[in-house]
Structures are given as C-alpha cells and as structure tokens.
Structure 1
Amino acid sequence: MLKSLNTAATGMAAQQTNMDVIANNIANVSTNGFKRSRAEFEDLMYQTQKEPGTASGENAYSPNGVQTGLGVRTAAIQKDFAGGSAQVTKNPLDLQIEGSGFFQVLTPDGQVGYTRDGAFKKDPNGRIVDKNGNVLQPEITVPPDVAGLEIAATGEVRVIQGLNDAPTTIGQIDIVNFVNPAGLKAMGKNVFTQTPSSGQAIASRPGLNGTGYLSQGQLEASNVNIVDEMVNMITSQRAYETNSKVIQASDQMLQSINNLR
C-alpha cells in the first residue's frame, strides 16, 4: 500500500485539530479574559532507505541520503497570554489586570483556581465571588449598606459607610504569576489550575514582581483577533482539502495498479 495514504490521513487529522482550536477561539471572541490558542505540529518518524553521509565510493559520501517522512501529529496547543483590550463598565466590582498575573478563586472542590476574568460580584453573605460563585482569595467580605467601594491599583479594598465618613480598608486583593503561564491547565469557566509545567504560583501585590496593576470599573476582553482567525481558518481548510486530494490521487494510483493485466 502507498505510504502517502496514511501520510495524508495524518495531515487531515492535524488540520481537523487545527480547525477545532480555531473554532474555539472564534466562539470565545466575546469571553472576558479569554486567551487564544494555536495548534503546533511536528513531523513523524522517517523511513530511511539511505543514511545521509553514507559512503558511496572511495572518499565519496552521499550528501543527502534517502528519507521519506510518514506524516504529522499535533505536538502542543499553545496559549497566547497577550493582553486583551479594556472594556469600561463602571461597575465597582469589575477589575482588569493591566499586565501579567491572575486572580485567585476557590473552586467548589477546595482547589485554588486562577483566572483573568475580573467580573466579580457579591454573594448573599457579602463575599466577593466570580460569576460561578467561586470565592475570591484572599476572602473579602463587603459590609452591607456601604455608600461606596474603592479598589486601589495596588489591590487595597476600601469602603465608605457614610457620605461624610473616611474610607475604611476591609481587605487586600493579591494576584499571582507563574514562570510558565502556558503550562496552566484550562478547566473551563475561565479558570486555570496549576500544573508541574506551570511552576508554583508566586503571589504578590499588584504592580510588584512583574505583575500588573488593577483597574477598577473595567474588564479585559478576549485577545482573539477575528480577522486573523478567519485567515487561519481558510488556510486550514485549504490544507485539509489538499491532503484529501493526495488520498484521491493515491487511490487512483492503486486503481491503476489493480487494472494492470
């Protein structure tokens, strides 16, 4: 059987994965704090008929050799943690990290999750939570009937009880950073979890140790560029079609062999 059949099939599978990644990027173009992904590929092993540099005569060596590739596979799906644009909401509990870093939230299973989505709210007890009810860490409880809520760029949370009262500090929002953010595991719901590849979480106040400052009243939009994704989609589609043409051509070659008399 022609090796090109399997080789082209691996190409079609790779482009299908590529299209899945692109589709997920486009689907999340309006998701707060979403980071686009890109599929990365690598070639498979080679069938070597003649090693490069093999002696071909006295004091003569083959300059290239004869090696036939056997296809491609998905090596990784890389997250792009470039910042998204700012969306002004004027909601006092909407926060954007202007730079590197993640908010910490406590998931229902007791695990600490990390998110760039700063659309926070208050639960019935006054605790600051995300849209899924995960409690912001360190935990901060907003007293009832406050006249105003202020979150400084360095994460200090202050409230004003009365119009003539001085602001009172009720907590501090710390953010964390990682040596390799691309190694975080995406869990859905805009939450990542730590892995051995990401390294340990390094907590600090906003603006310290390379982290960004906080901006109150605005959110970070998705960093997906819809035009780039459309171009990538067309490129992936054409590559998929070309690989299918290779399978058709290989099938026709096999048919010609079968028709020999």
Structure 2
Amino acid sequence: MTNAALHVARTGLDAQNAKMRVIANNLANVNTTGFKRDRAQFETLAYQAITAPGAPSSDQNKYATGLNLGSGVEVMGTARIDTQGSMQTTGNALDLAIEGNGFFQVLRPDGSTAYTRDGNFSLSAEGTIVTTDGMPVQPQIQIPDGAQSITIAADGTVSAQLQGQTEANVIGKLQIARFVNPAGLQAVGGNLLIETGASGAAQAGDAGIDGRGNIRQGNLESSNVNIVEELVDMIETQRAYEINSKMIKATDEMLQYANQNI
C-alpha cells in the first residue's frame, strides 16, 4: 500500500508541475496581443476495485459502497478560454481588433491557412496587408501606391483615398473565420492557430454576420489573462505541489519504520 501511495503522490507532483507550466505561459503572454489564456484540466487515473459496490457481503447482504483505490491523477488537456480581451486604442489604421467571435485568416509559407486574433498588421514592400512575420492576410488586400488614407469598416470593407480624389475607393474586403468549436483549434506559436478535426471546418464570411464579430479599426485586442487570478492559481498549485511532496516524505518515513521495526 505504501509503495502505491508513493506512485499516487508522484502523479500529483507531475500534474501540478504541468499546471504550473500552463500558468507560467499565461503570465508570460500577459502582453501578447489577442492571446487567450489556457486552463489545465485534470482526470483521475484507473481505479483498483477491491470490493465492488453491490457485491455480496454475506448470504443475505450486499456491500453498499465497496472499496475502490485510486491510482492518481493526470492532466488530460488544456482548455483555451476564448473570452474577449479589452480593446486598446492605437490610432494606427492597420491595427485591427475583432469585437466578438472570429479570427483573421493568414496565409502560411507552406500554403496553408492559419487563424489569429492578433490584428497588428502592416504593409509589405508590395503594398499587401501582412502580419508582423510577413504573412499576407486573406483575402489578400493590395493597397494602391500613394494612398492618402486607409479606412476599414466594421464589416471588413477596405477603402483607400488616393491623391487628387475626394472620395475613397473600395479596394477589397477582409473576411472573418468562425468555428463551431474554437477551443479545438491548435496553437502553433507566432499567435497562430490551425484547424483541427475537433474545431470543425472554418466558416469564412463577412464580419458582423452569422455570429462573426465586427472589425474595429485603430484598436488592438489585449490578452485576456487576469494577473490576479493567475497569481491565485499559482499559489494554489504551489500548495498542492507541497502537499504531494509531503505525502512522499510521509510514505518514505512509514517504509523506513517498517524496515527497521518489522
């Protein structure tokens, strides 16, 4: 039994260590544009059924509860919390934020499409709207050379006013992608997410329609990490780690006592 207790406590240490890593990543990205915090999810390991509930205890009686011994805990996964981050006004025409559900679409170097809430865009040398890593936003928008101003409406319509003209010309339209299960998207770094079987297929369309959020020009969405909440979780995780460590120490002392006195 004592050896089993050592194993159970070890799984507790591993699980709390994994949760601390999740918390550390949340705090590290507190200033990352469009970042969504993660939450560690736990599940019990297999149980050993010594006595099954309802098994006969005598000719006429049955066990009401039985005897089941757990074998520990593990982190079953991480859940991304997709709550809206606060809006930061920048005044930059190419800083965009999504108010509501949805993701910007960008073209990766391998030709696949990735999704992001980071609307910190800029222009390439060819006048294309791109991410900070140079990946073009989809559908691709080409800003004419010499454009005096760029306006992006809430529905994604992009207009540019050229020199010598009094009215702005529509030059394209940004689309927003939404997913049935956005928590199923896989993070690949660089503020990018990719589609998986759990997320469902991307449903791209105009902003503000069919559950897609509106685009806010001149704004960036802040991380939704709450520092106070993360610090409380960190303290709780640290205490749980210490308790599991003490369990290992107590079990070790029990084994020493048994070896010396039995």
- Give the TM-score, by structure 1 length: 0.98
Q: Deviations over 1:94-124 (max 9, x none)?
A: 0110000000000111110000000100000
Contact 2:184 2:198 in 1 (8 A): yes
Contact 2:97 2:216 in 1 (8 A): yes
* Offset of residue 48 of structure 1: 1.2
Q: Deviations over 1:151-182 (max 9, x none)?
A: 00000000001364211000000010001111
Alignment of 1:63-142 (within 5 A): 63-142=64-143
Q: Matched residues in 2 for 1:163 and 1:59: separation?
A: 99
Alignment of 1:1-261 (within 5 A): 2-162=3-163, 164-260=165-261
Contact 2:146 2:163 in 1 (8 A): no
* Offset of residue 57 of structure 1: 2.3
Q: Deviations over 1:169-215 (max 9, x none)?
A: 00000010001111101010000000111100001100001011100
Contact 2:96 2:217 in 1 (8 A): yes
**Which amino acid counterpart does residue 133 of structure 1 have in structure 2?**
G
Q: Secondary structure at the match of 2:147?
A: coil
Identity of aligned residues (%): 47
Q: Secondary structure at the match of 2:57?
A: strand
**Which amino acid counterpart does residue 258 of structure 1 have in structure 2?**
N
Contact 2:127 2:144 in 1 (8 A): yes
**Which amino acid counterpart does residue 240 of structure 1 have in structure 2?**
Y
* Offset of residue 56 of structure 1: 1.3
Q: Matched residues in 1 for 2:85 and 2:261: separation?
A: 61
* Offset of residue 59 of structure 1: 3.4
- Give the TM-score, by structure 2 length: 0.98
Of stretches 160-169 and 118-127 in structure 1, the one that deviates more from structure 2 is: 160-169
Q: Gapped runs of 5+ residues in structure 2?
A: none
Q: Matched residues in 1 for 2:53 and 2:40: separation?
A: 31
* Offset of residue 2 of structure 1: 2.1
**Which amino acid counterpart does residue 113 of structure 1 have in structure 2?**
A
Q: Matched residues in 1 for 2:130 and 2:109: separation?
A: 12
Contact 1:147 1:163 in 2 (8 A): no
Of stretches 127-136 and 56-65 in structure 1, the one that deviates more from structure 2 is: 56-65
Q: Deviations over 1:117-144 (max 9, x none)?
A: 0010000000000011110000001011
How many residue pairs get matched? 261
* Offset of residue 4 of structure 1: 0.6
Q: Deviations over 1:11-51 (max 9, x none)?
A: 00000000000000000000000000000000001111100
Q: Matched residues in 2 for 1:19 and 1:252: separation?
A: 28
- Say what the alpha-carbon RMSD is for the aligned residues: 0.9
Find runs of 4+ consecutive structure 1 residues off by over 4 angstroms.
none
**Which amino acid counterpart does residue 91 of structure 1 have in structure 2?**
N
Q: Matched residues in 2 for 1:48 and 1:193: separation?
A: 42
